[in-house]
Amino acid sequence: MTGSIQRSVHDIVGSEFFDALVNAFYDGVEHDEVLIRLYPEGSDTVGARRRLAMFLRQYWGGPHDYMEERGHPRLRMRHAPFVVGPLERDRWLVHMAAAIEATMHLIPESDRDDVVHQLAVYVVNTAEHLRNSD
């Protein structure tokens, strides 16, 4: 980065990265008996994939499609109807860590360590933030 110009993670990786990340994540979730029961559509994760990809693109500095279509994310409110305890949190983290691992080759090598670190910190913090049960 030069001067005061800072690139967002989205600027570095692009929208396609988030699509790949979300697809890798849900490929695992669809076969996870603990997590899949939390999805009202069951193993039909097409809508969930689209929403998560839009959210992540927006969160990491991309287009605001999520906000325009769904309003403020309100993650805790949207997840409140579902029991998210330590087991669910940990299973979510397993699949998200695997998705990051599976897609990190899509991150430019010069930015890979920094972006992977930022993603890892974010998913750990988010998983704990959404936990609503002991």
Q: How many CB atoms lie within 10 A of CB 99?
A: 22
- Classified as helix, coil or strand, 67 is helix
Does residue 5 sit within a domain?
A: no
Counting the structural domains of the chain, the total is: 1
Does residue 121 sit within a domain?
A: yes
Residue 14 has pLDDT above 90, yes or no: yes
Does residue 3 sit within a domain?
A: no
User: Cα 59 from chain centroid?
Assistant: 9
Give the pLDDT confidence of 31-53 residue by residue, as tens digits. Answer: 999 999 998 888 899 999 999 99
**CATH number for 46:** 1.10.490.10
Which residues span the domain enclosing 125? 11-130
Does residue 15 sit within a domain?
A: yes
Q: How many CB atoms lie within 10 A of CB 119?
A: 23
Name the nearest CA neighbour of 102 among 40, 23, 9.
Answer: 23
Give the pLDDT confidence of 57-91 residue by residue, as tens digits. Answer: 999 999 999 999 888 878 778 887 888 999 999 99
Q: Across all residues in the chain, what is the average pLDDT?
A: 92
Does residue 4 sit within a domain?
A: no
Does residue 87 sit within a domain?
A: yes
Q: What is the pTM of this model?
A: 0.91
The percent of residues above 70 in pLDDT, for the chain, comes to 96
How would residue 4 be classed by pLDDT, with cut points 50, 70 and 90? low
* pLDDT attached to residue 1: 47
Residue 124 has pLDDT above 80, yes or no: yes
